[in-house]
Amino acid sequence: MNEMQLRLRIISIKKEMLYIIMKSLKANRYMLVEELRYLYQEYLKLIVRLQKNIPSYNNGKCNPYKNCYFYALDLPVPNIYRLNYRLILDEIYCTDLGSISRPNDLYRLYIPETEKEVLEYLYSDLDTLKIKAYDSAINKLPKHNGYKIAIFMESGSDHDYHFIRQNSDGSWSGKIGYEDCIVKMANPLDYLNDNIYNEPTSYELIKTLEIVKPNFKR
């Protein structure tokens, strides 16, 4: 599949998502959600092949991402997908850790409660999209022509996690949950103190990875 075919198929997928809205008036809505998620999975497989390996900072003015995880991996969420999901299931959480590799899970995914589970969900999604991941460190330079992401996990009872990414200019940035706010920082470890939320956090850095996407060879 050449670059033009990739782009045409992406357009076609969005049209199919639009058609699902029409079918939702008659068909079983849970079957439609599964169909929608598989279409989105195919969409992402194509998108990552057209992206640059090192993303630039996105200031949130045009925010195609749903949460910190999808922002860190630079995975856009088309408006037609969000709209479909909201109309069919009356659910706004259409993306989450593990949702890429498990499109047949029709309800909001189980929230991982341990570091092992967070990494299992992450590696499963990356494998589905054929994205390579290499162990790295905050202070190390990328060695594989990719970019770095840092993964944090809350040490308290909420078991929350957070992802941030390194930008092409060397800075770091992260999306604050499902809000539109995207925060830029010089030091990724700022997320561990009060420089982001203006209050102490209980997050710990659990992993730093270099991400390399399967770019289309032009």
Predicted confidence at residue 103, as pLDDT, reads 73
Low-confidence stretches of the chain (pLDDT < 70) are: 24-30, 59-63, 88-94, 104-110, 156-158, 178-179, 191-201, 216-218
Number of domains making up the chain:
1
Predicted confidence at residue 196, as pLDDT, reads 55
Predicted confidence at residue 143, as pLDDT, reads 93
Predicted confidence at residue 207, as pLDDT, reads 95
SS (H, E, C) the chain: CCHHHHHHHHHHHHHHHHHHHHHCCCCCHHHHHHHHHHHHHHHHHHHHHHCCCCCCCCCCCCCCCCCHHHHHCCCCCCHHHHHHHHHHHCCCCCCCCCCCCCCCCCCCCCCCCCHHHHHHHHHHHHHHCCCEEEECCCCCCCCCCCEEEEEEEECCCCCCEEEEEECCCCCEEEECCCCCCEEEECCHHHHHCCCCCCCCCCEEEEEEEEEECCCCCC
Q: Is 42 exposed, middle or buried (0-12, 13-18, 19+ CB in 10 A)?
A: middle
Predicted confidence at residue 200, as pLDDT, reads 54
CA pair distance 62, 188, nearest whole angstrom: 23
State which residues form the domain around 69. Answer: 1-218
Q: pTM for the full model?
A: 0.87
Predicted confidence at residue 130, as pLDDT, reads 95
